[in-house]
Amino acid sequence: MNIHFGADYYPEHWPEERWETDARLMQEMGLQVVRMAEFSWHKLEPEDGRFDFTWLDRAIALLGKYGIKTVIGTPSAAPPAWMIAAHPEILPTDREGRTRGFGGRHHDCQSNEVYRAYVRRMVTEEAEHYRDDPNVIGWQIDNELGNSHGDLCHCESCRRAFGKWLQKKYGSVDALNRAWGTAFWSQEYNSFDEIPTPRITVCGENPSQMLDWNCFHSDLILDFASMQAEILRRICPGKFITHNFMGFSELVDYYDLAERLDFVSHDQYPCLPDEFSPSRSEAGAAAALDVVRSFKERSYWIMEQQSGITGWQTMSRAPEPGQLSAWTMQSIAHGADCVVFFRWRVYRYGTEQYWHGILPHSGTPGRRYEELRDCIKSAGPLMDRMQGAVPRAQAGILYSFRQNYAITIQPQHPQLSYTGQLQAWHRALYGQNIPVDFVQGGTVHGDLPHADFSRYRLLIAPLQYLMTPAMEELFTAYVKNGGTLVLTMRTGVKDENNVCMTDRELPGRLSEAAGLEVRDYDCLRGTDVKVTFEGKAYTAVKWADLITPSEDTEVLAEYAGGWYAGTPCITSHRFGKGTCVYVGTEPGPELMEALTAKLCAEAGILPLAKSDRGVELMQKENASGSWLFAINFTGETKHFEVPAGRTMILGSAADTLGPYETQIFEG
Ligand code: GAL
């Protein structure tokens, strides 16, 4: 029996007399696990060195009586006030040199040795205390590492750590000067001690320094997490270690972090107020789940699944009846073994007074409780069979944190976003019911990808901006051996140090596979461009590469307006046994869909089936079976085609979905 549903529970927020009611209601709803204590440092260590686990012991034991297991979060995302008062140097410093104060969370510097000593002691105490508790099944390290740490930390300890990191990477300061091109604006350094963290400057910054800073920061967070993982593994070998990721968040390279964990968890909020995330959609939610699955190439947990209105100062729309279940089913369809709802009950105090949970402020079960209870009742019995199941995609989209950093440092077009671009390609495939994987496209340090490209018939590699000879070889080999590779504008512009390459026309040595050169381009500021593809006019945005194709290169699309009308913008080149497609612009959504439909058809990738807009079809499989999910994300009745040979195991009228209904088919 595996664990499949749970809630994020904060017993310390409520009188102890209430706990038993909560446990009973959870059990009646079908919950089997809670995550607790990830922000409870003060309750666990009210004074320096005085530990008190008794309240948590009582909560764990009581929940255990109701068949509910516990995942404990290490509390390093919320160091207590006594610690900060005694060691104010733990507080982080921002780019402007201001110390951020106590009163929110994540108010810590992760390189600070005093803080690290406190964290080590706390995690060791917790691990020893719960090592033999059968109700505690696993650990969550910290909470959303990198969250709120956007431009942190620039304190003296971080400056020293950055210097050491650079010294290890470059060996000598001369090598660093050469790599960063510090001759520009007289930025040469005579020693590593002179190198600042990139605080706010009078004007401008060195892109190579910024890239190293981003990678250093990722490594710092990784090191902070690894320190905790090592303690937990040593003391509690029988319990799992996970962490709650945030989809496309970029502060720590999640591929690296995933290596330290038994499995990855993710916090899934499909509907947030604008100030958190302005454009949310089912496609975006699906992309987040697909990217999370890619970090360890296996099934995952949802550690926080939205269970009501979200928001701090302002609120999101209320999930419509059925919507929470549809989102839950979507998480499962893309590879979740367990869904933990955030949170059990909305709290009356503090920042998150309006971040609603399964239970409202009153604590009385209502619409959300009943809906999720029914959802668990119908999906629960299928979950054991589907344990470990994941979609098997034939199309992949490359994702590299290093490329993301470099494009974010210099987007070139103000709206060009690396992860936005990835999601646009994903959306086009998603809209056609074509399952897609994200694929690790190289490490944060610029090493080659671990992933095996040959699993994919179609590999989309957007914005391969930083290029190395080894990467060029890998791409070329993939095409030679029969793959269809999609390269885009801004490929091969820079070397691994974020320095422009001068020994080539774009896209460098990939010219041969792509069958073209790009000798000129236009940044589409304040305008778009018309493009003709298969005899139809479409819109493209942000960028226009002016392609000079080789003789044997097929032109798929050309610009239709402006001074470069008639110039190719999308091409296809047979090379070896495969094809290299080059897309020199950002296709608008219609063109993206038409282009991906053509590429998939030519690569022999079929959609799962046809469906109305607003219906998601997704299939996942494990060694014992395969399951097709059909999820209606609208409040209206919708239809889809049921592929032959499937047996309905959830739902009533196959091919017709009621509002927000999910159907599951086996076989
Ligand atoms: C998540 C976080 C939770 C809670 C929630 C709502 O990002 O992990 O602790 O803060 O958002 O704000």
Q: In ligand 1, which atom is closest to the CA atom of 303?
A: 8
Nearest to 465 by CA among 514, 500, 423: 500
Backbone angles phi, psi at 478, to 5 degrees: -60, -45
Q: Is 47 a catalytic residue?
A: no
- 9 alpha carbon to ligand 1 midpoint, in Å? 12
Give me the amino acid identity at 367.
R
Q: Where are the beta strands (DSSP E) in 509-562?
A: 516-533, 536-549, 554-559
Q: Which of 304, 371, 616, 661 is catalytic?
A: 304
143 Cβ inside 6 Å of ligand 1: yes
Tell the residue nearest (CA) to atom 6 of ligand 1.
355
Q: What domains can be seen in the chain, in order of their start residue? A: 5-151+221-383 (3.20.20.80), 395-603 (3.40.50.880), 615-666 (2.60.40.1180)
142 Cβ inside 6 Å of ligand 1: no
Tell the residue nearest (CA) to atom 10 of ligand 1.
352
Q: Which residues neighbour 195 within 8 Å (Cβ) at sequence distance 6 or greater?
A: 159, 162, 163, 166, 176, 189, 209
Q: In ligand 1, which atom is closest to the CA atom of 244?
A: 8
Look up the pTM and report it: 0.97
Mean pLDDT of the chain: 96
How far is it, in rounded angstroms, from Cα 564 to Cα 19?
A: 69
Tell the residue nearest (CA) to atom 1 of ligand 1.
267
3-state secondary structure of 104: coil
What CA–CA distances, in Å, run from 642 to 322, 407, 471, 605? 22, 42, 41, 18
Asked if 442 and 406 count as a contact pair (C-beta separation under 8 A), the reply is: no
* Interior angle at CA 392, CA 451 and CA 631, nearest 5: 130
Report the pLDDT value the prediction gives residue 273, as an integer from 0 to 100.
86
How far is it, in rounded angstroms, from Cα 329 to Cα 662?
A: 7
Q: In ligand 1, which atom is closest to the CA atom of 39?
A: 9
- 357 alpha carbon to ligand 1 midpoint, in Å? 11
Helix, strand, coil share (%) of the chain residues, nearest 5: 35, 25, 45
144 Cβ inside 6 Å of ligand 1: yes
Give, for ligand 1, the residue of 34, 144, 275 to mutate: max count of ligand atoms closer than 8 Å to Cβ.
144
Report the pLDDT value the prediction gives residue 489, as an integer from 0 to 100.
98
Q: In ligand 1, which atom is closest to the CA atom of 143?
A: 8
Give me the amino acid identity at 375.
C
- 176 alpha carbon to ligand 1 midpoint, in Å? 39
- Residue 626 structure tokens: 């395969």
Q: Is 89 a catalytic residue?
A: no
Give, for ligand 1, the residue of 352, 353, 356, 358 to mutate: max count of ligand atoms closer than 8 Å to Cβ.
352
* Interior angle at CA 165, CA 188 and CA 151, nearest 5: 85
Q: In ligand 1, which atom is closest to the CA atom of 352?
A: 12
What CA–CA distances, in Å, run from 263 to 6, 342, 488, 492, 602? 17, 19, 32, 34, 35
- Which CB contacts under 8 angstroms, 24+ apart, belong to 636-641? 638/611, 638/612, 638/614, 639/611, 639/612, 639/615, 640/609, 640/610, 640/611, 640/612, 640/615, 641/609, 641/610, 641/611
- Could you report the per-residue pLDDT of 487-498, keeping only the tens digit for each? 999 999 999 999
Give me the amino acid identity at 610.
K
Determine the straight-line distance between the first and last CA of the chain, rounded to whole angstroms.
Answer: 23
3-state secondary structure 432-446: CCCCEEEEECCCCCC
Give, for ligand 1, the residue of 12, 106, 245, 304 to mutate: max count of ligand atoms closer than 8 Å to Cβ.
304
Give me the amino acid identity at 407.
I
How do beta strands 516-533 and 536-549 pair? antiparallel
- 351 alpha carbon to ligand 1 midpoint, in Å? 10
Quick count: other Cβ atoms within 10 Å of Cβ 194? 10
304 Cβ inside 6 Å of ligand 1: yes
How far is it, in rounded angstroms, from Cα 579 to Cα 585?
A: 19
- 310 alpha carbon to ligand 1 midpoint, in Å? 10
What does the DSSP 8-state code read for residue 318? P
Backbone angles phi, psi at 491, to 5 degrees: -95, 135
- 96 alpha carbon to ligand 1 midpoint, in Å? 26
- Residue 614 structure tokens: 């607003």
8 Cβ inside 6 Å of ligand 1: no
- 196 alpha carbon to ligand 1 midpoint, in Å? 32
- Could you report the per-residue pLDDT of 248-295, keeping only the tens digit for each? 999 999 999 999 999 999 999 999 888 887 667 899 999 999 999 999
How far is it, in rounded angstroms, from Cα 169 to Cα 164?
A: 9
Give, for ligand 1, the residue of 8, 36, 147, 267 to mutate: max count of ligand atoms closer than 8 Å to Cβ.
267
Give me the amino acid identity at 378.
S
Q: In ligand 1, which atom is closest to the CA atom of 147?
A: 7
How do beta strands 300-306 and 638-639 pair? unpaired
Report the pLDDT value the prediction gives residue 490, as an integer from 0 to 100.
98
- 204 alpha carbon to ligand 1 midpoint, in Å? 34
355 Cβ inside 6 Å of ligand 1: yes
Asked if 152 and 107 count as a contact pair (C-beta separation under 8 A), the reply is: no
Tell the residue nearest (CA) to atom 9 of ligand 1.
143
Give me the amino acid identity at 63.
L
Q: In ligand 1, which atom is closest to the CA atom of 144?
A: 8
- 427 alpha carbon to ligand 1 midpoint, in Å? 26
- Residue 14 structure tokens: 């409520």
Q: Which residues neighbour 583 within 8 Å (Cβ) at sequence distance 6 or greater?
A: 486, 487, 488, 489, 569, 570, 595
How far is it, in rounded angstroms, from Cα 285 to Cα 297?
A: 18
Which residue ranges in the chain fall short of pLDDT 50? none
Asked if 56 and 74 count as a contact pair (C-beta separation under 8 A), the reply is: no
Q: Which residues neighbour 284 within 8 Å (Cβ) at sequence distance 6 or greater?
A: 270, 423, 427
- 335 alpha carbon to ligand 1 midpoint, in Å? 22
Residue 411: Cβ-neighbour burial (10 angstroms; 0-12, 13-18, 19+): middle
Q: Which of 144, 282, 496, 661 is catalytic?
A: 144
16 alpha carbon, distance to own chain's centre: 36
Report the pLDDT value the prediction gives residue 450, as an integer from 0 to 100.
84
- 417 alpha carbon to ligand 1 midpoint, in Å? 25
Q: In ligand 1, which atom is closest to the CA atom of 351?
A: 12
- Residue 276 structure tokens: 């958190």
